[in-house]
Amino acid sequence: MSRFRIRFWGVRGSIPTPGPTTVRIGGNTSCVEVRCGDRLVVLDGGTGLRVLGDELVKEMPIHATMFFSHVHWDHIQGFPFFKPAFVKGNHFDIFGGRNLNATLAETLAGQMNFPNFPVTLEQMAATMVFHQFDDGQIVDLGDGVEVKALRLNHPDGSYGYRIMYGGRALAYCTDTEHLSEPDKHVLELADKADVFVYDAQYTPEEYQGKNGMPKVGWGHSTFEEGARLARLAGAKRLVLFHHDPYEDDETVLAKERRCRELFPQVDAAFEGLSYEL
């Protein structure tokens, strides 16, 4: 059976958090590498994308597909520092949903325009082909790899993905806020998934504001809701993702321990975490 490998390069939400209290979990923002046979898929372009890029230069020339959940800064800010994008001969198919006022290409270019950055998107030497998809669309990448996209509950819009290959599935549902009833889109993406990556930015106490300002309406969820959805979807493993920048290593690990009481097959995402499906 061809390999289906997942590796986490950035697991934080909102803003990078370098420093001595985040060394174990990591401080880079969202970026996940997925290998399906010879296909390379990258989910989101947070600051973890820079570190992934440093590894990918060893494999050039590169042909990869990138899917962005949305274009809030913590999911795109690694793109200007992605070394393979500056090298002629590399090719990237870049996908984003139709829920934006501007296209994905315009948004990625905007963060690199003067005076924000000294190099423009047009000056990157790699070939980049931008694609838009509709809610519920399945994108066929070839070689038996399919990606399904469904809209999530997040300010300004966000998309979750289900990557399917060789009878196995990865569900990637970050930057989404739970509803009073289980989110049907999340359940569809996570249905019997081998790995279910879910936005667990807050503890239930943080979300409700028991320790400070409530986070209701901010577009993120909790480990408690992740466990509930994993059970309902029949997911094999849950991965807590998009950790709050105020959560140090010990807080994230405590969140993992508490979640294991609700859903034993769970890991808190950390930089370098990988799975072979």
Dihedrals phi, psi of 58, to nearest 5 degrees: -75, -15
Alpha-carbon distance values, 120 to 92, 171, 219 (Å): 17, 33, 31
pLDDT recorded at residue 1 = 58
Confidence of residue 97 (pLDDT cuts 50, 70, 90): confident
State yes or no: pLDDT of 104 exceeds 90: no
State yes or no: pLDDT of 265 exceeds 60: yes
Q: What pTM was computed for the model?
A: 0.96
Please name the amino acid found at residue 166.
G
For the chain, give every domain's residue range: 4-276
Q: What is the pLDDT of residues 186-229, one digit of tens each?
A: 999 999 999 999 999 999 999 999 888 999 999 999 999 999 99
Yes or no: domain 4-276 corresponds to CATH 3.40.50.300: no
Are the C-beta atoms of 145 and 170 separated by less than 8 Å? Answer: no
Closest CA to 267 of 223, 222, 201, 206: 223
Q: What is the pLDDT of residues 240-257, one digit of tens each?
A: 999 999 999 999 999 999
Mean pLDDT of all residues belonging to the chain: 95
